[in-house]
Amino acid sequence: MKRTRPTAIALAATLAAATPVPAYDLTPHQWRDRLLILVAPHADDAVLARQQAAVERHRDAVAERHLRVFVLRGEDGTLDGRTLGARDVATLRRQLDAASDASQLILIGKDGGIKRRGALSTPLDAVFAQIDGMPMRQTEMRQQRRGH
């Protein structure tokens, strides 16, 4: 019986199927982004809808503070409006200690530390004020005033 050799495409497909897809990793955001994570038990949560609308209304302020916005609702989620896979959402929930029935707002600083864990209904103005009081943000604002 003649034995055929697998093609490179077949080998790649076999390896891809056997290699687990890495779950979402927050470390690339460290020292680049602040993370605002909105957690709700389900997509039709009224508080979540209000908070997402507030983020949209304050889009410029969010961008100015280098905030990336995660929304975790039930078993699905988004990052800046782009869909995250169920595995990524589950990993993020584990990393953040946010149960699937949780409702909360989490702020992570550029250093990777959790700066706030509170009610999902926390006003964005309070989050912005907290960020603006951070030493790294103070430096960013000084540099902006100087035109850097």
Tens digits of per-residue pLDDT, 60-83? Answer: 999 999 999 999 998 899 999 999
Flag the least confident range among 4-13, 64-73, 81-90: 4-13
Banded model confidence at residue 12, pLDDT cuts 50, 70, 90: very low
Give pLDDT, residue 108: 96
Say if 43 falls within a structural domain: yes
CATH number at residue 69: 3.40.30.10
Dist. CA 58–CA 131, nearest whole Å: 14
pTM > 0.85:
no
Q: 51 and 123 in contact (C-beta within 8 Å)?
A: no
Say if 20 falls within a structural domain: no
* pLDDT tens, residue by residue, 31-58: 999 999 999 999 999 999 999 999 999 9
The range of the structural domain enclosing residue 113 comes to 33-146
Say if 7 falls within a structural domain: no
In this structure, which long-range contacts are made by residues 81-87, counting pairs with CB atoms below 8 Å and at least 24 apart in sequence?
A: 84/24, 85/24, 87/21, 87/23, 87/24
Per the structure, the count of domains in the chain is 1
Dist. CA 15–CA 72, nearest whole Å: 31
Report the pLDDT averaged over residues 94-114: 93
Give pLDDT, residue 124: 97
Report the pLDDT averaged over residues 18-28: 67
Helices (H), 79-134: 86-96, 124-132
Helices (H), 28-134: 46-57, 59-64, 86-96, 124-132
**Phi, psi values for residue 5, rounded to 5°:** -90, 140
Say if 15 falls within a structural domain: no
Give pLDDT, residue 8: 43
Q: Which two tokens stand for residue 95?
A: 């990393």
Banded model confidence at residue 11, pLDDT cuts 50, 70, 90: very low
